[in-house]
């Protein structure tokens, strides 16, 4: 569609989102980047963080757990390990995951600290993004 972007977010758990949008902002591994229609094509790695998109007057928020973004002139496709729209985030589950990760990190010598650190990063991002509501 002219002057629109098709945003697809796909994870091993299924298609999380497929919408015609006006603008997308992603947490790239090298920093945040924004995409408007007619952007030059590129491919990049995403880190744990927030994807924001604008649709008309609304701004919406999605948690993205690692992955890739493929940008074309009229398309942004995100392939992520997991992703949830802000409304779909279970805050209690994220807080429980945060507590588990913090407990594991206290016993650093005994555990895989990289794994616990990313679990902590995911849970913190989920709690923050869950607080965000659609901006109109
Ligand atoms: P947990 O330890 O709670 O499973 P996790 O970070 O290990 O968290 P992931 O591996 O990222 O979980 O995700 C596994 C599945 O569970 C995915 O489908 C993801 O969307 C979903 N999920 C994980 N945490 C939440 C949450 N807090 N709210 C909603 N869905 C979640």
Please give the distance, rounded to the nearest whole angstrom, from the Cα atom of residue 73 to the centre of ligand 1.
31
Q: Per CATH, which fold does 5-86 belong to? A: ATP Synthase; domain 1 (2.60.15)
pTM equals 0.93
Q: Is the pLDDT score of 63 beyond 60?
A: yes
Residue 1 in this model has a pLDDT that exceeds 60: no
Higher local confidence (pLDDT), 20 or 109: 20
* Statement: residue 6 has pLDDT above 90: yes
Can you tell me the mean pLDDT for 42-61? Answer: 96
Query: With b meaning 16 or more CB within 10 Å and e meaning fewer, what string describes 73-96?
Result: eebbbbbbebbbbbeebeeeebee
Q: How far is the CA of 23 from the centre of ligand 1 (A)?
A: 26
3-state secondary structure (DSSP) of residue 118: helix
| Positions of CATH 2.60.15.10 in the chain | 5-86
- Lining ligand 1 with CB less than 6 A are 13, 65, 82, 84, 88-90, 93-94, 97, 119, 122, 126
How confident is the model at residue 136, as a pLDDT? 76
CATH architecture group of domain 88-130: Up-down Bundle (1.20)
């Amino acid at each position: 569609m002219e002057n629109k972007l098709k945003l697809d977010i796909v994870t091993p758990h299924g298609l999380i989102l497929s919408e015609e949008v006006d603008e997308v902002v992603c947490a790239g591994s090298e920093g945040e980047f924004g995409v408007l229609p007619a952007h030059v094509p590129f491919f990049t790695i995403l880190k744990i963080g927030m994807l924001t998109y604008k649709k008309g007057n609304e701004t919406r928020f999605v948690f993205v757990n690692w992955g890739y973004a493929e940008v074309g002139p009229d398309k942004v496709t995100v392939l992520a390990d997991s992703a949830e729209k802000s409304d779909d985030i279970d805050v209690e589950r994220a807080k429980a995951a945060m507590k588990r990760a913090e407990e594991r990190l206290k016993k650093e010598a005994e555990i895989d600290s990289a794994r616990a650190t990313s679990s902590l990063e995911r849970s913190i991002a989920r709690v923050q993004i869950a607080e965000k509501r659609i901006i109109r």
